[in-house]
Amino acid sequence: MAHVSLNNISHAYNANTDSETQVLTDISLDIPHGSAHALLGASGTGKTTLLKIISGLLIPTEGDLLVDGRRVNTDSPRERNIAQVFQFPVLYEHISVFENLAFPLRNRKVPLTEIHTRVKQTAELLEIDNLLSGKTTGLSIFDKQKVSLGRALVRNDVSAILLDEPLTAVEPSAKWRLRQKLKELQQELSLTMIYVTHDQLEAMTFAEQISVMHEGRIIQTASPRELVEKPQHEHVGFFIGMPGMNFLPTDSTACLSPPKGATKAGFRPDQAFVSTKQGHNSLQVAVIDQQALSTHLGESWGLLTCKYQDIEIRTRQHLNLNVGSTAWLHIDNPHFFRNGWRMTGQAEVTQGNA
């Protein structure tokens, strides 16, 4: 396994024609050996392109791709020793499961006896050793994805395994099992895995580090916890969390004493609550919806939606107010953003349960 780093990578399709489309801009990323890294973003943000650049199916128009410090920009996929698992299972349907697993090894002229032992080991690892002699047609997608994964794992020289939304096609009931399996393997074998997804839950449960992508850029790379607590960009705040961050323009929240230059104040549903009492720095809002998530000692607890001017705001709190009533919104230590980016130099925000 290896250390993968991307230095200032940019990519444009049709770079030499007029109609060029920039899909990646100035991507820098460092994925240490044996780490699980996720690329998170909505579709169309350039995750798959980035993956293709890493696997070698695309050559970036700018920047360097280093594997263990060696520049591999122009190496073919075969030379890079990178494996990939696709959205839907890509298998060779006319040959057996065994041959599917052996395929990358045969292409690399691995001796026959070694092929046998390695395929066997991999199959055992993935718990598909009973399927080896059969054909791939007729397997469940869950098993098929395991075979695809097996084709990646079977190579002991692989420097990184790329997973391109590998759970998309898997039956919902098996999604969790497969993710577990992936995580287990990653840890057990200390694999370098790069996991592309648009599902923050998948990313957060799988990866140690998550890069959030937006419009061809990485807007933040951080641990799951950091992404929640210190979103570097409005978009991260909005994208991460269920529900995402609330935003208010600073001109209407002067009471929160925003720093100079701030354009927006952002706060997570946990960082605010609505009550009938007016406190200092509180804003007058209309309660428009309550959604119970749990009940404790006779009191409901859940999501409350209120409206400040035209802006909907969600908080997570006791639900003791009437829908339609007027109340007061209290905000704890909001984050302040200028032009989308979080303003630094503030006091660290602690998670508060007011």
Partner 1 sequence: MRKRINNRAWLMVLPVLFLVAMSAVIPLMTVVNYSVQDIFDDNNRVYVGLEWFIQIIRDPELHAALWRQILFSANVLAIEIPLGILIAKAMPRRGSVATGLLIFFAIPLLIPWNVVGTIWQIFARPDIGMAGMSLTSLGLDYNYTANPVDAWFTLVAMDVWHWTSLVVLLVFSGLRAIPEAYYEAAQIDGANRWQMFRHIELPRLKTVLGIAVLLRLMDSLMIYTEPFVLTGGGPGNSTTFLSQYLTRMAVGQFDLGPAAAFSLVYFIMILTLCWLFYSLISPAEEQTER
- Residues near partner 1 (CB under 8 A) are 52, 55-57, 76-78, 82-84, 86-88, 90, 92-95, 103-104, 107-108, 135, 137-138, 148, 151
Smaller CB separation from partner 1, 90 or 288: 90
Closest by CA to 80, choosing from 159, 17, 3, is: 159
Query: Residue 289: beta bridge partners?
Result: 305
3-state class of 284 per DSSP? strand
The C-alpha atoms of residue 77 and residue 98 are separated, in whole angstroms, by 23
Minimum CB distance to partner 1, residue 41 (Å): 20
Smaller CB separation from partner 1, 93 or 184: 93
Smaller CB separation from partner 1, 59 or 201: 59
Closest by CA to 160, choosing from 29, 275, 314, is: 29
Smaller CB separation from partner 1, 60 or 104: 104
Minimum CB distance to partner 1, residue 57 (Å): 5
Helix axes 172-188, 141-153, angle to 10 degrees: 20
The C-alpha atoms of residue 64 and residue 217 are separated, in whole angstroms, by 16
Smaller CB separation from partner 1, 103 or 341: 103
Smaller CB separation from partner 1, 131 or 219: 131
3-state class of 153 per DSSP? helix
Q: 10 Å Cβ neighbour count for 348?
A: 7
Minimum CB distance to partner 1, residue 107 (Å): 4
Closest by CA to 247, choosing from 346, 336, 343, 350, is: 336
Minimum CB distance to partner 1, residue 80 (Å): 8
The C-alpha atoms of residue 101 and residue 83 are separated, in whole angstroms, by 12
Minimum CB distance to partner 1, residue 140 (Å): 12
Minimum CB distance to partner 1, residue 108 (Å): 6
- The type of residue at 131 is L
Minimum CB distance to partner 1, residue 225 (Å): 33
The C-alpha atoms of residue 20 and residue 13 are separated, in whole angstroms, by 6
Smaller CB separation from partner 1, 89 or 258: 89
- The type of residue at 20 is E
The most distant pair of C-alpha atoms in the chain lies apart, rounded to whole Å, by 77
Minimum CB distance to partner 1, residue 135 (Å): 7
Minimum CB distance to partner 1, residue 260 (Å): 50
Smaller CB separation from partner 1, 43 or 344: 43
The C-alpha atoms of residue 252 and residue 243 are separated, in whole angstroms, by 22
The C-alpha atoms of residue 62 and residue 201 are separated, in whole angstroms, by 32
Q: 10 Å Cβ neighbour count for 265?
A: 21
Smaller CB separation from partner 1, 139 or 313: 139
The C-alpha atoms of residue 313 and residue 248 are separated, in whole angstroms, by 9
